[in-house]
Amino acid sequence: MPDTSPGVGPSAAINRYWTVGEGRAKWANSPHPYTTLVALLREHVSEHIAKGLAAEYYHRVFGRWPGQQRGDK
């Protein structure tokens, strides 16, 4: 699995793209953001990796994991 930790280099730029940048606009406001993001990422990586990355990016953007209700811990 690619390194998704914050920092410097190509992975940091990709993380920013999907969580802050132009990429975020493609999925964050959709009716089903996690599903939309998985579909977008599957264009570039396997489904398994896409689901993992989508969960990480979703958590970074919304502060909760996919499927977790607001206010749940």
Three-state SS for 13-67 is HHHHHHHCCHHHHCCCCCCCHHHHHHHHHCCCCCHHHHHHHHHHHHHHHHCCCCC
pLDDT for res 46: 96
| Total count of domains within the chain | 1
Residue 5 lies in a domain: no
Residue 2 lies in a domain: no
Q: Give residue 47's domain range.
A: 10-62
pLDDT for res 11: 87
One digit per residue, the tens of pLDDT, for the chain of length 73 reads 455 555 567 788 999 999 998 999 999 999 999 999 999 999 999 999 999 999 999 999 999 999 987 766 6
pLDDT for res 69: 77
Residue 54 lies in a domain: yes
User: How far is the C-alpha of 60 from the C-alpha of 56, rounded, in Å?
Assistant: 6
pLDDT for res 68: 87
Residue 35 lies in a domain: yes
Residue 58 lies in a domain: yes
Residue 21 lies in a domain: yes
pLDDT for res 20: 95
